[in-house]
């Protein structure tokens, strides 16, 4: 065997990103290629690092709340919910029932919005341009509700420690119901476009397989874990905000490939709509703020609270030293941890599959880098 002819160009290092449309922001991936086959990847992250955890130590508990919205900025409501729950647990207060129901409605709407963004951009990466316009159109409906509720569309800061800042606006229930009615047939439409589509199946089936064992080893959570067949959702396993009162199912996949992850997220959107409908129907009257002191100074202690964000387990580890500012806030970001499995999934696949795999992880770089 000739040892080094020009044909034996065995390794090629290819740089992808950070300015690349399919890396969903500023992710840089260095690919090591053998022909068109990926034999190794390395992620270079941190381009969007703003030091959120450091900022937390220099703001009061209330002042820090808007900052968390800027991490996973397509699911800002979830970030806010996790932070509020953590501080509430430290303080020993609980949001009143009405606030909890409104929280569930907004969080689930936000989950749908986040999944819609994922679907549109994921399909765009694969080469299907049309779904992006459709998903953006429907996302608009959910954003309109946020805008009417709290004035912001993206970084909402919808919740406050102890409950809600605002009472719902007139016609909130009606509009949320209308939005639900609109969403379900539209999700059917996306599925008509994609689920049975030969190109879609060809590009997604058996691509980027991550089985349950690997998911657990890499700490992968959320739809990725469920697509591998693990029926685990924090909303069911350790319910918060009254999720135990709603009937919904945890969709799971079998193979843990990109197609299963697609299916799981599609089914999740339907389940979210189901939860929202139940929540709107059973909206109690009453106050929207719990008994929270004017100056928040939780007792010395620490707490870890996690919620099921659209991307996976979003955790807040908050340490208090009984001052007005948190001593330490650690955010356990699902995107960051899930992204680590990219190497495992991409090894042995083709370059074009890497694009599909990055899309299927559903990362938001604002959360990866914080």
Complex with another protein: residue 125 or 313, whichever CB lies closer: 313
Choose between 89 and 111: whose C-beta lies nearer to another protein: 89
Whether 93 and 162 have beta carbons less than 8 Å apart is answered as yes
The 3-state DSSP class for residue 206 equals coil
Q: How far is the CB of 332 from another protein (least distance, A)?
A: 4
Q: How far apart are CA 101 and CA 155, in angstroms?
A: 20
**Closest distance to another protein from the beta carbon of 326 (Å):** 11
Supply 232's token pair.
């685990």
* Residue number with CB closer to another protein (166 or 304): 304
With b for 16 or more beta-carbon neighbours within 10 A and e for fewer, the 189-226 pattern comes to ebbeebeebeebeebbeebbbbebeebeebbbbbbbbb
Q: Which is nearer to another protein, 88 or 268 (CB)?
A: 88
Element (H, E) at 80: helix 76-91
By beta-carbon proximity to another protein, the closer residue of 278 and 324 is 324
Nearest distance in Å: CB 141, another protein: 35
Least gap, CB of 87 to another protein (angstroms): 12
**β-strand partners of 262:** none
Q: Which is nearer to another protein, 165 or 324 (CB)?
A: 324
Tell me the three state secondary structure of residue 140: helix
CA-CA distances (angstroms) from residue 347 to 30, 92, 139, 203? 12, 47, 34, 16
Residue 209 tokens read as 């397989």
In the complex, least distance from residue 206 CB atom to another protein, rounded to whole angstroms:
23
Tallying the residues shown for the chain, one arrives at 370
Residue 58: CB atoms within 10 Å: 11
| Cα 163 from Cα 290, distance rounded (Å) | 6
Cα 70 to Cα 76, 255, 354, distances in angstroms: 7, 33, 27
CA 295 centroid distance within chain: 31
Tokens describing residue 264: 């799981």
For the CB of residue 169, give the shortest distance to another protein in the complex, in Å: 31
What's the min distance (Å) between Cβ of 54 and another protein?
A: 6
Residue 309 C-alpha from the chain's centroid = 5
Residue that is written with structure tokens 């939860």 in the block: 275
Residue 279 zone, left/alpha/beta (φ > 0; ψ -120 to 50; rest)? alpha
Task: Please report how close the Cβ of residue 272 comes to another protein at its closest, in angstroms.
Answer: 23
Minimum gap (Å) between residue 213 Cβ and another protein: 9
Nearer to another protein, 147 or 321 (CB): 321
Q: Give the nearest distance from C-beta 62 to another protein in angstroms.
A: 10
Q: Is the Cβ of residue 220 or residue 354 nearer to another protein in the bound state?
A: 220
Report yes or no: 221 and 362 within 8 Å, Cβ to Cβ.
Answer: no
| Site residues for another protein per CB under 8 A | 45-46, 49, 51, 53-55, 57-58, 60, 89-90, 216-220, 230, 232, 237-238, 295, 299-304, 306, 313, 315, 317, 319, 321-324, 327-328, 330, 332, 336-337, 340, 369-370
Closer by beta carbon to another protein, 134 or else 317: 317
Q: Based on CB atoms, which residue is closest to another protein, 269 or 318? A: 318
């Amino acid at each position: 065997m000739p040892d080094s002819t020009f044909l034996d160009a065995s390794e090629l290092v290819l740089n992808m990103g950070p300015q690349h449309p399919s890396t969903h922001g500023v992710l840089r991936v260095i690919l090591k290629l053998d022909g068109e086959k990926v034999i190794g990847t390395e992620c270079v992250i941190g381009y969007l690092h703003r030091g959120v955890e450091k900022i937390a130590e220099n703001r009061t508990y209330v002042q820090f709340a808007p900052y968390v919205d800027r991490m996973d900025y397509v699911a800002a409501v979830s970030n806010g919910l996790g932070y509020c729950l953590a501080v509430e647990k430290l303080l020993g207060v609980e949001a009143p029932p009405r606030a909890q129901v409104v929280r569930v409605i907004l969080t689930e709407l936000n989950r749908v919005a986040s999944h819609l963004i994922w679907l549109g951009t994921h399909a765009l990466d694969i080469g299907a341009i049309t779904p992006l316009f459709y998903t953006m159109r429907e996302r608009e409906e959910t954003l309109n509700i946020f805008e009417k509720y709290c004035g912001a569309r993206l970084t909402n800061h919808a919740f406050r420690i102890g409950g809600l800042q605002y009472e719902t606006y007139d016609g909130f229930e009606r509009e949320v119901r209308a939005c639900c009615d609109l969403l379900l047939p539209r999700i059917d439409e996306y599925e008509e476009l994609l689920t049975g589509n030969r190109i879609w199946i060809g590009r997604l089936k058996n691509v980027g397989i991550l089985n349950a064992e690997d998911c657990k080893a890499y700490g992968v959570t959320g739809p990725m874990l469920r697509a591998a067949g693990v029926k685990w959702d924090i909303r069911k396993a350790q319910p918060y905000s009254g999720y135990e009162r709603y009937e919904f199912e945890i969709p799971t996949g079998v193979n843990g490939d990109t197609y299963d992850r697609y299916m799981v997220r599609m089914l999740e959107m339907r389940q979210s709509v189901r939860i929202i409908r139940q929540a709107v129907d059973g909206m109690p009257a009453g106050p929207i703020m719990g008994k929270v002191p004017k100056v928040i100074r939780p007792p010395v202690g620490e707490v870890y609270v996690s919620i099921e964000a659209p991307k996976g387990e979003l955790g807040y580890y908050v340490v208090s030293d009984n001052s007005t500012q948190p001593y330490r806030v650690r955010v356990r970001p699902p995107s960051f941890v899930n992204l680590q499995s990219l190497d495992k999934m991409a090894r042995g696949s083709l370059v074009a599959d890497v694009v599909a795999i990055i899309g299927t992880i559903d990362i938001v770089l604002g959360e990866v880098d914080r």
